Amino acid sequence: MISASHSALAPDTAQGRWYGISRRRDTGLMSPFELPADRLPEQSVVARPVWWRRAPTGVRRWAIWSVLSAAAILLCIAFVDQPVARFMYEHPAVSSHGHRLGFLPVTILAAASASVVVIGTIRALRGEVPLFWRRVLFAGLACCVALTLKTEAKFLLGRMGPGEWYWYQTLPFADFHPFHRNGSFPSGHMTAMWSIAPFVWIRYRWMRIPWILASLGVGYALVASKAHFVSDLIGGCLLGGTVGYLFLLAAEHPKRCDDDV
């Protein structure tokens, strides 16, 4: 029988050692809530790159963000889009401001196209590029791919814009005409902006607040100019952000993680 002054022992069959289940102050035995003194050999630990350990968390966050965005889109279509569009038509003084902010995504598209051509040419001629310019290249690619998908989504869903809707006053969800017209959902401007957002949000955090303010300004300009509903903006953010996140993962392939910005 083991006395009260001694701790019970349990075998570790994998290592062939004995570890303590409980311990007293005067013993070196460990409690089950502590790490064992003898660590596993380094050869037995499978090394994984940093991006692999972070990927599950990033995927979960993206999944949560996608579900919340989809719910916000449905709620806006049902309760927000038409009242806001009607308000903009009935208050032209409010809708006449901020329309110039809509040119910001056009500038981003031009810069993305230029980055793809210039950096892609340098990559083809000289080989490797630093991680910063690799991110710029993949951000430009993300913008181009997201806008291509946006065009197909507009044709697939065929939603009429606020300008056309105002004269028909259809019910919510009745303004979608699949394969019928080049509709307004999702917004191409917000798709372009948010295809670069993952690069800004994750890697250059000091730009978060300016980027959010710019997105809000562009969104207001698009709604005020009667070019898009509110749900169109959220749809563009969802599409662009998803494509941008995938290209961010591709840009930071583990073979490139040893570079520094």
Q: Sketch the domain layout of the chain as residue ranges.
A: 1-38, 55-256
Distance, in Å, from the CA atom of 33 to the CA atom of 22, rounded to the nearest integer, reads 9
Count of beta carbons in the 10 Å neighbourhood of residue 250: 13
**CB–CB of 231/81 below 8 Å?**
yes
Comparing CA positions, the residue from 249, 148, 147, 152 lying closest to residue 194 is 147
Q: What's residue 127's pLDDT?
A: 67
Give the largest Cα separation in the chain, rounded: 91
Amino acid 74: pLDDT: 95
Tokens of 190: 């917000």
Tokens of 188: 């191409």
Predicted confidence at residue 107, as pLDDT, reads 76
| Distance in angstroms between the alpha carbons of the first and the last residue of the chain | 64
- How many other C-beta atoms lie within 10 A of the C-beta of residue 183? 21
pTM of the model: 0.71
- Specify the long-range contacts of residues 52-61, CB closer than 8 Å, at least 24 apart: 52/254, 55/249, 58/245, 58/249
Residues of the chain with pLDDT under 50: 1-38, 40-47, 50-52, 256-261
pLDDT of amino acid 260: 45
Q: Is 74 exposed, middle or buried (0-12, 13-18, 19+ CB in 10 A)?
A: middle
Cβ proximity of 192 and 108 under 8 Å? yes
DSSP letter (8 states) at residue 176: B
Q: Which of 184, 213, 182, 186 is nearest to 197 (CA)?
A: 213
What DSSP designation does 35 have? Answer: -
Taking phi over 0 as left and psi of -120 to 50 as alpha, with beta for the rest, 258 belongs to: alpha
- Contact between residue 223 and residue 178 where contact means Cβ atoms under 8 Å apart: no
Which residue, among 197, 216, 218, 217, has the nearest Cα to 208 in the 3D structure? Answer: 197
pLDDT value of residue 19: 40
Q: What is the pLDDT of residue 11?
A: 46
CA separation for the pair 21, 176 (Å, rounded): 65
Please give the pLDDT value at position 12: 44
Q: What is the pLDDT of residue 7?
A: 42
Strand partners, 11: 18
* Closest-CA residue to 32 (of 19, 45, 43): 19
